[in-house]
């Protein structure tokens, strides 16, 4: 562990689905860099993007989809050369305890939605998990507006809200990340293929406006290393480097 050194504080904005893993890694990092204090903010990637664009203080950003990172890159807001694809996640179909509706596959879910026989929780259209769900609807040629009108959908403003609806059995199933299902102890009955909704890539980058870019980059390097990767793998993320 490094001794001495200036006390540095870095702010990390990370997708809500990373809450548990990131908290654990931040704890571990205290042994590696005791002079660095890391303050995390977790929310949907869309909300975090808006906060960054509105001038929020953020040194390192990790989003649950490339879309939000691309927006910052186009604005020239990323520190050149720091962006990388950190993790891959899976979009999964999770059910409450006992699986009362017997939902087993996305194929079956599509039929149950069309016939009005299931209540599905999904993310709003402005959050990545909701956008992946919309791609799955498109794959099955399901009309989201018609489904919403028929009362078979409920929404969450981030993946944690969707996960809670499944955990509390207020819905028959939910489309969430494999990692959230794992953290919440939920049963995953099916995983979406890349054909259904594309790969779920979490990019990370230091922001160009960071006052502590060096410390932020050092933490990002740590996130790609073996100790952090083991934590990510433990909940079902696939490290990409």
pLDDT tens by residue, 55-81: 999 999 999 999 999 999 999 999 999
Long-range contacts of 145-153 (CB under 8 A, 24+ apart): 147/113, 150/116, 151/116, 151/119, 152/113, 152/116, 152/118, 152/119, 152/120, 153/119, 153/120, 153/121, 153/122
Q: Identify the pLDDT of residue 209.
A: 96
Determine what percent of the chain is predicted with pLDDT higher than 70: 98
pLDDT tens by residue, 127-159: 889 999 999 999 999 999 999 999 999 999 988
User: Under a CB-based contact definition with an 8 Å cutoff, are residues 12 and 22 in contact?
Assistant: yes
User: Under a CB-based contact definition with an 8 Å cutoff, are residues 232 and 62 in contact?
Assistant: no
**What number is the average pLDDT over the span 93-112?**
97
**What number is the average pLDDT over the span 165-170?**
98
* Residues 5-18 as b or e (16 or more Cβ within 10 Å = b): eeebebbbbbbbbb
Max Cα-Cα span within the chain: 65
pLDDT tens by residue, 6-46: 899 999 999 988 998 999 999 999 999 999 999 999 998 99
CA atoms of 52 and 85, how far apart (whole Å) = 19
Whether the per-residue pLDDT at 213 is higher than 60: the answer is yes
The residue among 236, 226, 240, 241 whose CA lies nearest residue 18 is 236
Q: Identify the pLDDT of residue 4.
A: 54
Whether the per-residue pLDDT at 123 is higher than 70: the answer is yes
Q: 234 falls in which pLDDT band (50, 70, 90)?
A: very high
**What number is the average pLDDT over the span 83-111?**
97
CA atoms of 98 and 96, how far apart (whole Å) = 6
Q: Identify the pLDDT of residue 1.
A: 43
The distance in angstroms from the start CA to the end CA of the chain is: 24
């Amino acid at each position: 562990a490094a001794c001495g050194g200036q006390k540095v504080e870095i702010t990390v904005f990370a997708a809500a689905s990373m809450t548990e893993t990131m908290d654990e890694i931040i704890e571990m990092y205290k042994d590696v860099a005791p002079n660095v204090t890391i303050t995390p903010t977790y929310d949907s990637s869309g909300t975090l993007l808006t906060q960054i664009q509105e001038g929020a203080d953020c040194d390192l950003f990790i989003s649950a989809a490339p879309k939000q990172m691309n927006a910052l890159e186009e604005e020239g807001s990323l520190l050149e050369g720091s962006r990388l694809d950190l993790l891959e996640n899976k979009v999964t179909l999770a059910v409450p305890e006992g699986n009362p509706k017997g939902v087993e596959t996305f194929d079956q879910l599509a039929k149950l939605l069309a016939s009005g026989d299931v209540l599905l929780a999904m993310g709003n259209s402005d959050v990545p998990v909701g956008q992946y769900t919309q791609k799955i609807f498109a794959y099955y040629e399901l009309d989201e507006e018609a489904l919403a009108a028929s009362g078979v959908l409920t929404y969450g403003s981030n993946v944690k809200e969707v996960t809670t609806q499944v955990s509390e059995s207020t819905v028959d199933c939910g489309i969430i990340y494999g990692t959230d299902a794992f953290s919440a102890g939920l049963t995953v009955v099916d995983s979406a293929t890349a054909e259904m909704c594309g790969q779920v890539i979490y990019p990370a980058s230091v922001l160009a406006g960071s006052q502590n870019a060096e410390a932020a980059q050092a933490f990002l390097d740590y996130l790609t290393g073996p100790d952090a990767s083991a934590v990510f793998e433990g909940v079902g993320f696939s490290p990409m480097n």
